[in-house]
Amino acid sequence: MLRLTIVVAATKSNGIGFSSRLPWRLRKEIKYFAQVTTTAPSGQQNAVIMGRNTWESIPQKFRPLPNRVNVVISRNLGYDLCEFAASVNEHDLKSALSQVENLTSASSSSPIHRAFIIGGASIYSEAIGLPTDVVDHILLTRIISPDFEECDVFMPDFLSGKARWKRATHAALEEWVGFEVAEGVQEEDGVKYEFQMWVRD
């Protein structure tokens, strides 16, 4: 089965959203998100898998997210993804995954390198519940401060679940993503955050 990587920016209270959008605007952080999810060997592309609310939260001019196969999950099979050939509509995470696997098969012209789960809360919950051989990496941008108490969407606390997640070193993070990443606490517009990678075996 295809391996999945979770990509998320979350506060220490696991807040990820407010009022149907990101609670913060961090230019370098979103650039990191774009670079991580786009980087693939030449001739290949990555897939980004998301729920319908997350799809709608992406500014129109950025969707579908360019140079990535966009897979949107909605229970409403008639959901109109608005004209984009680069997007596929699926009704649950499992069928989204088999869709991505079909794209990845030898016959496909553009094989899929990596598949990323990019939210939101219910898709993250489902993904965290999948077995270790499916979801083995979390690229977490930890928002250290402030705590953005207005958050109204949260991701589950993956560290308190049954799975034993371990924080990888910064060198391992850079090796996995394939480019240099700013190390330590970053600050933009008074918001402090850190790029982290968590793995399990």
Residue 140 a catalytic site member = no
Rg (CA), the chain: 16
If one asks whether residue 86 binds ligand FOL (CB under 6 A), the answer comes out as no
Residue among 4, 22, 65, 130 flagged as catalytic: 22
Per-residue x/- mask for ligand FOL, residues 87 to 106, rule CB under 6 A? --------------------
Residue 29 a catalytic site member = yes
Residue among 4, 26, 29, 65 flagged as catalytic: 29
Shortest distance in whole angstroms from residue 105 CB to ligand FOL? 26
Shortest distance in whole angstroms from residue 170 CB to ligand FOL? 16
Number of residues that bind ligand FOL (CB under 6 A): 19
**Contact of 6 with 137, CB cutoff 8 Å:** yes
Measured from the CB atom, is 24 or 89 closer to ligand FOL? 24
- Give the one residue of 4, 49, 96, 118 binding ligand FOL; rule: CB under 6 A: 118
Provide the residue type at 131 as one letter.
Answer: P
Q: Whose CA is closest to 36, among 114, 101, 103?
A: 114
10-69 residues near ligand FOL, rule: CB under 6 A:
22, 29-31, 33-34, 54, 57-59, 62, 65-66
Shortest distance in whole angstroms from residue 12 CB to ligand FOL? 15
State the catalytic residues.
Answer: 22, 29
Residues near ligand FOL, by CB under 6 A: 7-9, 22, 29-31, 33-34, 54, 57-59, 62, 65-66, 118-119, 141
